[in-house]
Amino acid sequence: MKLRFLSVLAVVGALGLAACGSDDVASPASQTAAPQAPASQAPAATTTSGAAFNDADVTFAQGMIPHHQQAIEMADIALGPSIGASAQVRDLATRIKGGQDPEIQLMTGWLTAWAQPVQSNMGTGHDMSMDGMMSAEEMDSLGTITGADFDKMWMEMMVRHHEGAIAMAQTAKAAGSNTEVLALADQVIAAQQSEITEMQKLLRG
């Protein structure tokens, strides 16, 4: 009887050790899954950031969209085959268009997420109340000249246009609250100031 009792205890002990072993095997799996949690939280953080905005943030996005659209329109004119713009101006136009179009999409997404109207269509006119915007007459005139004269006029207009965008970005930095808006304002200031410096150097010859 004692031998049988000891045998039973041995079996029970073995089963207990097996159960503990299965817990140890499961533990690494749970530890592997844990680091994935921050990744799933990242979109939520972006959504929260996008939800926090004020009137200055909305004004910046609604104003900068048509402002960027006019810069792209000016870039398209420079890239026209009949204009005869210099290689330097064509390169600037290509970079301006490539940099500002994604920013338009970004700001349009913000306004949609904020349930705010997207003022992205300037129609047949241009809103001269915004800093640096060209009039319809200036835009029409730009498309009538070619070669070196075009380069000079285009760069002078684009410098003014960029200076206006920088002023709008500085206003957003002073009064805005959305972190994404403030980051874009910094980006606009840095990129467009660099392009202003480049164009001023080309204008000086």
Dihedral of CA 165/92/102/178: which sign? Answer: negative
Per-residue pLDDT of the chain (205 residues; tens, 9 = 90+): 443 433 434 434 443 434 444 444 444 333 433 334 333 333 333 333 456 999 999 999 999 999 999 999 999 999 999 999 999 999 999 999 999 999 999 999 999 999 999 974 444 345 556 789 999 999 999 999 999 999 999 999 999 999 999 999 999 999 999 999 999 999 999 999 999 999 999 999 8
pLDDT, residue 127, reads 55
pLDDT, residue 128, reads 54
Rounded distance between C-alpha atoms, residue 97 and residue 95, angstroms: 5
Q: Is pTM beyond 0.75 here? A: no
Rounded distance between C-alpha atoms, residue 163 and residue 130, angstroms: 11
pLDDT, residue 50, reads 53
pLDDT, residue 5, reads 39
pLDDT, residue 98, reads 97
Rounded distance between C-alpha atoms, residue 189 and residue 51, angstroms: 24
Cβ burial of 35 (10 Å; 0-12, 13-18, 19+) is exposed
